[in-house]
Structure 1
C-alpha cells in the first residue's frame, strides 16, 4: 500500500517581496557618481619576517579596529618614509 502525499506550492508574493527588498538594499551607494580618482600607483610586494608574538599583537589590534594588516603597515611606512617633494 502506498501513501499519497500532497504538496502545495508556496505563494511567490511573500518570498518575492522579501527577495526584492534584499536585492535592492544598499544599491543606492553604487548608483552615485564616483568622484574623480587619481590613477593608482602599481603595488610591489614587500615580505618581512616578524616574531610570532609581534604578528599576534598586530593581528589582534587590527582585528579589533576592523582594519587590514597590509593597510596598517602601509600607513606606518608612509609616515616613516614620506614622499620627496
Structure 2
C-alpha cells in the first residue's frame, strides 16, 4: 500500500501592513452614516419639565429633538 502525498502551499509571509493602510481604516468616514451620538443628562425643575413636555406633546415633537435644536442654535455646527 503506497502513501498518498499531499503538496501543501507556501507558508504565508508575515508582511507588515503599511502604516498608510492602517491610517486610512482609522480615519475613513462614510458620508451616508449619521454622526455618532453622545448622551447628555441634565437636571431641570419639575415645573419646567412639565412645560416643555406639554408644549412638545402639543406640537407632536420630542423633548430631545427640541433640546438638540436649541443647542444647535446656540453652538451651531462648530
TM superposition score normalised by structure 2? 0.58
Match of 1:62 in 2: 56
Aligned residue number for residue 43 of structure 1? 37
Are residues 1:74 and 2:65 paired? no
Query: How far off is 1:52 after superposition?
Result: 0.3
Unpaired runs of 5+ residues, structure 1, are: 1-36
| C-alpha displacement of 1:74 | 0.3
Larger radius of gyration between Structure 1 and Structure 2: 2
Mapped to 1, the partners of 2:41 and 2:65 lie a distance apart of 14
Unaligned runs of 5+ in 2: 1-30
Cα RMSD between the aligned structures?
A: 1.3
Alpha-carbon distance, 1:38 to partner: 3.5
